[in-house]
Structure 1
Amino acid sequence: MDWISVLKVAIAFIVLAIAARADWRTREASDVYWMVIGGTGMFFLAAQIVLDGANIIYLAMLAPIAWFFVDIFWDRKGMFEDGISPLPLGLYAISFGILAMMIYLYNADIYFWKLMIVPIMFLIFILLYQFDIIKGGADAKALIALSIMFPLYPIIEPFPLIDLPYDAAQFVLPFPLLILFNAAIITVIVPVLLLFYNLSKKQVRFPAMILGYRMPIEEAKGKFVWPMERVEEGAVKFSVFPPASETLNEDLDRLSAAGLKEVWVTPKIPFLIPIAASLLFSVIVGNLLFLFIR
């Protein structure tokens, strides 16, 4: 058994689970969680290069990876804001210089490109966040940190159940992207779970029953939920996708004044929860796409 992979999965999942719990309860997840995953991942990445007997020069890859990662958490001015900031500009110049040199020297080595998955994933997740495909900053940081921890598919015999068809398949859907992909699939399962939950409670209203559940109005106050019902122009109206409201308690009070005791709500489920579940699913099951690639 690959104990390094076991340790990596255990550390990443435990930290993700703690972060997801914090996000669920407070809607905040400290950057410390991602620093732990990313920092530990840097250690494992260096150890893996040495244990694999790879070209020792590949350790230089850790410098730009470390800088790109640290800069995510550095609350600083822009490099060209109020003049030129020489320190970050210099560090980026050095980092890109190292990557350019490595690409020039080792572009024919597949091991090098396995390491390049990390900065490439950084770029992809940052772009997905900028284009609002990944909604939360904590989600993007979590995925970036996981890119350092898992640039490649962790192999823990007999897992994953779906084998990699060939080594280069690592590049078809890199493991960090697989975590995001499977997390999205898990999110889609939530409406099915809500459907069965509401059927068990005999709370039938479509499509509300696949988007949320009924909750006493007083209980909804202070909860992280969006009411799917609200009072507009003196009438109670239903909205499948309720807009975010800064006056949740006032909205609920108006519903109560209109005679409602309970309200249909949709829960605010932090995406860190599907990400944590996806990590385990991806490690155990693997990439469903590989069922069709042989």
Structure 2
Amino acid sequence: MDQIQMVFTARVLIVGMGLLAGSVMDIRTRRIKDSVWMLMMFSGLPLLGFEMWLKGGDSSWISLLSLLLPLMGFLFVLFGYPEPGEVLRGSAADISFLVIYSACIIGSVLGFVRGDPALTYPVAFSSLFMLIYFGLYHVPVGGTRIIHGGADLKCLLVLAALFPWYGSDLPFALGPFYRILSGNTLLAWIFPIHLSVLFNGAFITTVLLLVILPVMNLIRGDLAFPRIFTSYRTDVRGMNGKHVWVYVERNGKREKVEPTRKLESRLLGEGTKRVWVTPKIPFIFSLFLGFMVQMTAGNLVALIFLAI
């Protein structure tokens, strides 16, 4: 194993462990501490920079400045932007972030203009995807968002920042498709690692739900279509605290709401004993599975598409 492969493998292991830790938190509480993403970012980004230096030699140091752009995007989502009014009032925090963001912008521009395009273009492309993910987080769809949770967004931002390109063959890769993507420039641009992880996670989650929920509902005799594929029925008593959305009637419309003691008491008072609920998917766990599949076998969706 050469140095570049070792550095890439180390980055994969760091991100894998971070996603595993995030998955445990997501399954237990559906909340993930920002420290998980910060640890992944600030331990993985230096390794990415070291890999860039190994690929470009001594002259590649200026290309490293391009990494300031994804770093700034990550910090922006975590901490927001400096308020002009607070800056004028002398707020130390806002002034500090103004200086940091300004330095990131100037440094990244210098890196893109003077750096090696073979190294900086993929970083710019990943930064564009970070912007797209941020936009999708704010696009409403059916009472939710395309990228639903803040943790999902932060996870995708970290993946995009740390994996602007495919590495060499991993020692634990099991399937040929990772090699196909890493060796084909066009496919690597169409299916960057972070997007492949998202596709894998969404595909695995969809398949599992389409198998588990219908089977469970069929066994219980709950055959309301098409809800049989997305929801299940549960007792009203004791539903408070479960990681689900509850479907209730409001002003003649069916809406999904959080289960609360107040809602539980109201439904019991109305004589409702069981309700349809939709499970809140611990999508970080889905992304963890998608990441593991990506690094061992490749992009499941693209593999199926190319096989047809």
The answer to whether the superposition gives a TM-score over 0.5 is yes
What corresponds to 1:105 in structure 2?
114
CA pair 221-69 structure 1, distance change in 2 beyond 3 A:
closer
Does structure 2 conserve the Cα–Cα contact (< 8 Å) formed by 1:180 and 1:278? Answer: yes
What corresponds to 1:116 in structure 2?
124
* SS at 1:243 equivalent: strand
Is residue 19 from structure 1 mapped to residue 25 from structure 2 by the alignment?
Answer: no
Deviation at residue 48 of structure 1 after TM alignment: 0.8
What corresponds to 1:94 in structure 2?
103
* SS at 1:214 equivalent: strand
Please give the per-residue CA displacement for 1:17-37, whole angstroms capped at 9, x wherever unaligned: 222222232232100010111
Is residue 133 from structure 1 mapped to residue 146 from structure 2 by the alignment?
Answer: yes
CA pair 199-161 structure 1, distance change in 2 beyond 3 A:
farther
The letter for the 2-side match of 1:276 is: F
What corresponds to 1:50 in structure 2?
53
* SS at 1:52 equivalent: helix
CA pair 249-161 structure 1, distance change in 2 beyond 3 A:
farther
Q: Distance in 2 between matches of 1:248 and 1:201?
A: 25
Greater share of helix: 2
Q: Distance in 1 between matches of 2:282 and 2:288?
A: 11
Between 1 and 2, higher relative CO (CA 8 Å, sep ≥ 6) is seen in 1
**From 13, 34, 38, the counterpart of 1:35:** 38
Structure 1: segments with no counterpart, 5+ residues: none
CA pair 144-257 structure 1, distance change in 2 beyond 3 A:
same
Q: Distance in 1 between matches of 2:216 and 2:295?
A: 28
CA pair 219-114 structure 1, distance change in 2 beyond 3 A:
same
CA pair 133-206 structure 1, distance change in 2 beyond 3 A:
closer
Please give the per-residue CA displacement for 1:189-217, whole angstroms capped at 9, x wherever unaligned: 22332112222444333223212222222
TM-score (norm 1): 0.81
* SS at 2:197 equivalent: helix
Alignment of 1:146-157 (within 5 A): 146-154=159-167, 155-157=169-171
What corresponds to 1:180 in structure 2?
198
Is residue 244 from structure 1 mapped to residue 257 from structure 2 by the alignment?
Answer: yes
TM-score (norm 2): 0.78
CA pair 231-76 structure 1, distance change in 2 beyond 3 A:
closer
What corresponds to 2:91 in structure 1?
none
The number of equivalent residue pairs is 284
Q: Which runs of 4+ in 1 moved over 6 A?
A: none
Deviation at residue 160 of structure 1 after TM alignment: 5.0
Please give the per-residue CA displacement for 1:60-87, whole angstroms capped at 9, x wherever unaligned: 2334443443343336642x24455554
The letter for the 1-side match of 2:52 is: I
* SS at 1:28 equivalent: coil
The letter for the 2-side match of 1:199 is: L
Is residue 166 from structure 1 mapped to residue 201 from structure 2 by the alignment?
Answer: no
CA pair 214-101 structure 1, distance change in 2 beyond 3 A:
same
**From 235, 243, 247, the counterpart of 1:216:** 235
Deviation at residue 53 of structure 1 after TM alignment: 4.0
The letter for the 2-side match of 1:206 is: F
CA pair 232-102 structure 1, distance change in 2 beyond 3 A:
closer
Q: Distance in 1 between matches of 2:280 and 2:210?
A: 13
Percent of matched pairs sharing the same residue = 26
The letter for the 1-side match of 2:97 is: P
Deviation at residue 89 of structure 1 after TM alignment: 3.4
Q: Distance in 1 between matches of 2:264 and 2:191?
A: 45
Root-mean-square deviation (CA, aligned residues, Å) is 3.0
Structure 2: segments with no counterpart, 5+ residues: 89-93, 140-144
Q: Distance in 2 between matches of 1:270 and 1:292?
A: 29
Q: Distance in 1 between matches of 2:71 and 2:227?
A: 46
**From 65, 74, 81, the counterpart of 2:79:** 74
Q: Distance in 1 between matches of 2:163 and 2:211?
A: 30
